[in-house]
Amino acid sequence: MIRLALLRLLALPALVAFAGPTNAQNAPLPKPMLYLLGDEYYSAGGKNWIRHRYEVFNKSDYPAALFAAAPNLPPCGLNTNSSRSWVDFYDQNGNRLYGFCSLGSPNDLASIWFATEEGTIPPSWIYVEITDRQTNNKYRSNLADTVM
């Protein structure tokens, strides 16, 4: 009888470890899968620009809470209701190109971009990093082309 109780006691942690997370909130988020949608030409400030438009293919895998307004976290400039997570573009060498601090839902990952002045060669490859400012977790995407 004591052996059976001891066996159960020793087996329980192994079963819990094998089962893994018990709900979706504990599951790790996937790596963002970034791809180029295309370019958009526009003018602003007396200059011509090219907006390089991207989408995160697996945006639906990210919870809405990740993009909720977070007034308890530091502001983004004068925006005191910036989102919990910020999305930043980087070139292949890790240089920051542009960022978004007020995306309101995972669906907004379908229309992210960075711009270069017309006549400027964009970096060959870029990636995005989603930073969850509440947990300090970072989710880095694949390298994506800047030309179609």
What pLDDT digit, counting tens, does each position of 133-146 carry?
999 999 999 999 99
- Classify residue 17: in a domain, yes or no: no
Domain count along the chain: 1
The average pLDDT across 119-134 equals 97
- Classify residue 3: in a domain, yes or no: no
Report the alpha-carbon angle 91-95-98, nearest 5.
80
Say what percent of the chain tops pLDDT 90. Answer: 79
- Best CA proximity match to 30, nearest among 102, 124, 137: 137
- Classify residue 1: in a domain, yes or no: no
Task: Looking at 58-133, list the stretches that DSSP marks H as alpha helix, in order from N- to C-terminal side.
Answer: none
State the average pLDDT for the chain.
87
pLDDT of residue 26: 60
- Classify residue 126: in a domain, yes or no: yes
Residue 105: CATH number of its domain: 2.60.40
- Classify residue 20: in a domain, yes or no: no
Quote the domain boundaries for residue 104: 32-145
What pLDDT digit, counting tens, does each position of 39-53 carry?
999 999 999 999 999
pLDDT of residue 43: 98
Overall pTM > 0.85: no
State the burial class of residue 67 (Cβ atoms within 10 Å of its Cβ: 0-12, 13-18, 19+). Answer: buried
pLDDT of residue 28: 86
The average pLDDT across 30-36 equals 98
